[in-house]
Homo-oligomer: A and B are copies of this chain.
Amino acid sequence: MKYTSALIQEAVESLSALPGIGRKTALRLALFLAKQDPARSLRLAESIQRMVEGLRECSICFAYSDSDVCEICSNPGRDRSTICLVETVRDLMAIEETQQYKGLYHVLGGLISPIEGIGPDQLNIAGLVKRVATNPPQELIIALRPCIEGDTTIYYISRQEGMEGIRLSMIARGISFGSELEYADEFTLSRSLAGRIPYHPKDNS
C-alpha cells in the first residue's frame, strides 16, 4: 500500500500490529482518527499511554489494578470466604458480568503447558498457596477452561502443600445453553451424562 503521508503510514503500521487488525482495517482506523475531532483521537492516544504507564497488578489477586490492591480485593462488600481461581483478567470480567459471584478472585495468568513451555513458576501459583495459607477461604472455586492444561493445573494446585484442608470446587462442565447435542464432542457429552443432576419439576400450584 502506498501512503501519501509517512505519519499515516506509521499509524497504520502500529495499528496493524494489534490482534485481528489487518492492514486495510488499520488504514480505515488511521484515516478515521485523522478525520474526526482531533481532541477525540488524542484522547485515545492518551488513554493508551496512561493505561500502559499506570497499570499495575493487584498484590493480592494479580488482576490488573490502578493501585496496589484492586477494587475487588479492597471492596468491603465482597465475600472474603470464597476465592475464585481464573486463568485471565478477561475470565474474571466475564464472571463479574454474570453478577452471580460476590467473592474474591485469584488470577493465575495462564495454565501449565509443557508444550508451550509454561511451568508452574511462571504462573501466580505460589501467591495463591501463600494467600490460602495466610487466610484460608471456606471454598476455592476453580473456574479454569476445560482442557488438558486446565486439568493439569488444577491437579498441580490441589497437590500443593497447605491445600489439603481447603474445600475445592469446579465450575460445572456440560452442554452450553442453546447448543446442539449432535455437535457436542464425545468427551463433553459423556461428561455431561456422567455429571447429570436430579431434576425437580417446579411446583406451579
Q: Residues of A with Cβ closer than 8 Å to B?
A: 1-8, 10-11, 13-15, 17-21, 25, 27-34, 38, 40-55, 58, 63-66, 70-72, 88-90, 92-93, 96-97
Given contacts A3-B93, A34-B64, A45-B48, 15 further A-B pairs with CB under 8 A are A2-B93, A4-B65, A5-B63, A5-B65, A7-B47, A10-B50, A11-B47, A11-B51, A13-B47, A14-B43, A14-B48, A18-B33, A18-B44, A20-B25, A44-B48
In the complex, chain B residues whose CB is within 8 Å of the CB of A15 = 44
Interface SS, A side: helix
Cβ contact of A4, chosen from B40, B52, B53, B93, cutoff 8 A = B93
A11 to chain B, nearest CB (A): 4
* A18 CA to B28 CA, complexed, in Å: 10
Q: Are A48 and B41 in contact (CB under 8 A)?
A: yes
In the complex, chain B residues whose CB is within 8 Å of the CB of A63 = 4-5
Q: Are B93 and A14 in contact (CB under 8 A)?
A: no
* A19 CA to B26 CA, complexed, in Å: 11
In the complex, chain B residues whose CB is within 8 Å of the CB of A1 = 93, 96-97
